[in-house]
């Protein structure tokens, strides 16, 4: 496992932050000398940077942490049968394979599942410290933690009193959380991580939601609903044994299991309502919903039975099978069509604008701006436009996955103002900017229907060097649109 392949593009972005923290003592992207908040997985980045400080490769460090998370989590299952079910769903669902390309998926979601396990035990203020750590791993841990906190209050306030729990909640979670948030605002001068701005802006096509995000959510929550229904409607009635009406039996069974059902609602209602409001870019292996999957698996262990766990495992494997196969294929096929270009220019010290922010920044000498805004503040909060692009003099611009037909009709500022913030519109604007400015255009094959569009600034003092490097590539073609 530790030498499986190579990291995915988005994972390389975080590794770039971890490498900068380890080598320069600065949380930043690319070669910049000021803090940039694009590494959303804060504690994950810090852990990897510690390994990096001891000369571990960042990717290897990520795999080591993932392995340790799995080994530790297995201790929560008392029987070999439960451990077997866990390992089967781990292998036959997509979440594991998103971790194999460098993401924090398994470590983050198993931490959430561990929190679900802890709320079943006796009250401890330590749980609030664990919740804080969980939120520091990834910021969306806040959404997943709301239900945990609510259950802790409801489960213990009669015995301990609201004041005691609220005091612990304030001291061990709220206060250090506010200190961290204040430090983060002071350090980065941003209220939220840049990816939050990027992913929340755009034209929503299902009311206040993105339809693609809803479909990704359903892959995980359909098995949750059916497994819960299976348990509720197959359990024996305790208080209404003489009832013969199917409808009344169903109502009584729901009432008898209302405690567990309300806990489920508390755990997952907030994420269900929040996540579809974001465009879930780079949701490799449906990783953003992995906490729900593993959290519910532990919930079944605690409150339902082993048969329901098996039903849930089989339903999940079946419903997510296509996603799993695609994720496995993506993790095995680690050949990046951009690698020859990256190797050609990585030592050039060129000021680069690109929409692929990982490969061209990670362990290169390039000074990189991310045109989509995940790692460059000036492009994060609104759609890129000609005025903002004119503020910089880039030596080279790289747009992978581009359709050349987008350059046929030139656009101007008045046209750009009416465009929604989509990735394709951002590509259209940057490409047309290159066409209208003093850039020499080239193309490289990217996939079946798309190219990598390359623009070299002919006014740059690096023009001759970059042109020489680019022309050594096989399949390079000069573009003439006149």
CA gap 471, 103 in Å, rounded = 35
Beta strands in 329-470 (DSSP E): 351-354, 367-370, 396-402, 439-445, 451-457
- In this structure, are 390 and 424 located in the same domain? yes
- In this structure, are 280 and 355 located in the same domain? no
Percent of the chain topping pLDDT 90 = 58
> Average pLDDT, stretch 208-227?
92
Out of 79-83, 88-92, 224-228, 241-245, least confident range: 241-245
- In this structure, are 304 and 349 located in the same domain? no
Give the gyration radius of the chain's Cα atoms: 25
- In this structure, are 233 and 145 located in the same domain? yes
Last residue of one domain, picked from the residues 287, 302, 331: 331
- Alpha-carbon distances, residue 322 vs 33, 285, 312 (angstroms): 43, 10, 17
CA gap 277, 274 in Å, rounded = 6
- In this structure, are 366 and 315 located in the same domain? no
pLDDT tens, residue by residue, 417-450: 777 888 888 888 898 888 888 799 999 998 878 8
- In this structure, are 293 and 399 located in the same domain? no
- In this structure, are 285 and 183 located in the same domain? yes
275 in a structural domain: yes
CA gap 402, 424 in Å, rounded = 9
327 in a structural domain: yes
DSSP states of 81-140: HHHHHHHHHHHHSTHHHHHTTT-SHHHHHHHHHHHHHHHTS---THHHHHHHHHHHH-TT
Confidence check: pLDDT of 234 > 90: no
Instruction: Look up the domain containing 279 and give its range.
Output: 9-331
CA gap 253, 233 in Å, rounded = 7
Q: State the residue for tokens 């990982």.
A: 358
pLDDT tens, residue by residue, 302-359: 988 889 999 999 999 999 999 999 998 887 766 788 889 999 999 999 999 999 888 8
Confidence check: pLDDT of 471 > 50: yes
Q: pLDDT grade, residue 233 (50/70/90)?
A: confident
Judge contact between 331 and 347, C-beta under 8 A.
no
Confidence check: pLDDT of 454 > 50: yes
157 in a structural domain: yes
Question: What region, left, alpha or beta, does residue 330 occupy, with left being phi > 0 and alpha being psi -120 to 50 degrees?
Answer: alpha
Task: Output the pTM of the full model.
Answer: 0.90
- In this structure, are 434 and 321 located in the same domain? no
- In this structure, are 356 and 238 located in the same domain? no
The pair of structure tokens assigned to 14 is 């975080």
- In this structure, are 312 and 400 located in the same domain? no
CA gap 309, 324 in Å, rounded = 20
Task: Calculate helix-pair angle for 105-119, 58-73, nearest 10 degrees.
Answer: 30
Residue 220 phi/psi, 5-degree rounding, is -90, -40
- Name residue 453's beta-bridge partners: 399, 443
217 in a structural domain: yes
**Of 374, 224, 192, 228, the residue nearest 291 (C-alpha):** 224
- Name residue 399's beta-bridge partners: 453
DSSP structural state of residue 71 = H
DSSP states of 181-201: HHHHHHHHS-SS-HHHHHHH-
- In this structure, are 170 and 284 located in the same domain? yes
> Average pLDDT, stretch 177-190?
94
- In this structure, are 144 and 219 located in the same domain? yes
CA gap 127, 81 in Å, rounded = 28
For residue 88, what are the contacts with CB-CB under 8 A and spacing of at least 6?
313, 317
Last residue of one domain, picked from the residues 331, 358, 378: 331
Q: What is the pLDDT of residue 249?
A: 63
Domains identified in the chain, total number: 2
Q: pLDDT grade, residue 297 (50/70/90)?
A: very high
* Average pLDDT value for the chain: 88
Q: pLDDT grade, residue 238 (50/70/90)?
A: low
Q: State the residue for tokens 């096509």.
A: 205
The half-sphere exposure of 206 on its side-chain side, counting CA atoms within 13 A, is 12
Q: Are strands 477-478 and 396-402 parallel, antiparallel or unpaired?
A: unpaired
Q: What is the pLDDT of residue 456?
A: 95
CA quadruple 54, 57, 62, 63: dihedral sign: negative
pLDDT tens, residue by residue, 352-406: 999 988 889 998 889 999 999 999 999 988 888 888 898 889 999 999 988 766 6
Q: Which of 155-159, 279-283, 314-318 has the highest mean pLDDT?
A: 314-318
4 in a structural domain: no
> Average pLDDT, stretch 136-145?
94
Judge contact between 400 and 452, C-beta under 8 A.
yes
Task: Give the SS3 label for residue 411.
Answer: coil
Last residue of one domain, picked from the residues 271, 302, 331: 331
CA gap 111, 70 in Å, rounded = 10
Judge contact between 170 and 237, C-beta under 8 A.
no
**Of 5, 3, 103, 94, the residue nearest 45 (C-alpha):** 103
Task: Give the SS3 label for residue 468.
Answer: helix
Max distance between CA atoms of the chain, in angstroms, equals: 89
Residue 281 phi/psi, 5-degree rounding, is -65, 150
Tell me which H or E stretch contains 169. helix 162-169
59 or 251: which leads in pLDDT: 59
1 in a structural domain: no
Which segments of 244-289 does DSSP mark as H helices, in order? 246-256, 258-274
């Amino acid at each position: 496992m530790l030498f499986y392949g190579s990291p995915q593009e988005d994972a390389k972005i975080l590794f770039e932050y971890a490498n900068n923290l380890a080598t320069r003592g600065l949380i930043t992207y690319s070669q910049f000398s000021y803090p940039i908040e694009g590494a959303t997985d804060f504690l994950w980045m810090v852990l990897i940077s510690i390994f990096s400080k001891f000369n571990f490769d960042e990717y290897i460090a990520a795999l080591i942490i993932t392995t340790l998370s799995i080994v530790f989590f297995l201790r929560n299952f008392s029987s070999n049968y439960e451990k077997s079910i866990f390992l089967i769903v781990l292998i036959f669902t997509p979440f594991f394979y998103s971790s194999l390309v460098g993401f924090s998926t398994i470590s983050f979601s198993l931490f959430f599942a561990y929190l679900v396990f802890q709320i079943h035990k006796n009250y401890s203020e330590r749980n609030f410290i664990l919740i804080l750590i969980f939120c520091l791993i990834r910021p969306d841990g806040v959404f997943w933690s709301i239900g945990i906190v609510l259950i802790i209050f409801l489960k213990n306030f009669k015995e301990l009193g609201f004041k005691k729990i609220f005091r612990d909640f304030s001291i061990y979670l709220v206060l250090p959380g506010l200190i961290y948030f204040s430090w983060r605002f002071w350090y980065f001068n941003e209220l939220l991580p840049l990816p939050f701005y990027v992913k929340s802006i755009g034209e929503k096509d299902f009311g206040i939601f993105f339809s693609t995000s809803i479909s990704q959510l359903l892959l995980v929550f359909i098995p949750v609903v059916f497994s819960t229904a299976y348990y509720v409607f197959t359990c024996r009635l305790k208080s209404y044994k003489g009832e013969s009406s199917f409808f009344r039996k169903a109502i009584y069974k729901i009432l008898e299991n209302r405690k567990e059902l309300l806990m489920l609602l508390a755990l997952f209602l907030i994420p269900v309502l929040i996540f579809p409001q974001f465009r879930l870019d780079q949701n490799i292996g449906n990783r953003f919903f992995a906490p729900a999957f593993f959290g519910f698996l532990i919930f079944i262990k605690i409150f339902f039975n082993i048969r329901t766990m098996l039903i849930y495992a089989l339903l999940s494997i079946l419903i997510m099978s296509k996603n799993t196969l695609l994720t496995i294929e993506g993790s095995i096929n680690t050949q990046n069509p951009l690698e020859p270009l990256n190797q050609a220019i990585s030592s050039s010290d060129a000021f680069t604008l690109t929409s692929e922010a990982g490969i061209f920044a990670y362990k290169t000498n390039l000074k990189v701006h991310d045109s989509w805004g995940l790692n460059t503040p000036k492009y994060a909060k609104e759609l890129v436009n000609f005025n903002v692009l004119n503020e910089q003099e880039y030596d080279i611009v790289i747009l992978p996955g581009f359709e050349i037909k987008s350059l046929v009709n030139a656009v101007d500022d008045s046209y750009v103002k009416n465009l929604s913030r989509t990735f394709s519109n951002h590509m259209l604007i940057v490409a047309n900017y290159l066409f209208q400015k003093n850039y020499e255009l080239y193309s490289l094959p990217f996939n079946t229907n798309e190219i990598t569009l390359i623009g070299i600034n002919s006014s740059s003092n690096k023009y001759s060097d970059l042109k020489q490097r680019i022309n050594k590539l096989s399949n390079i073609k000069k573009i003439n649109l006149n």
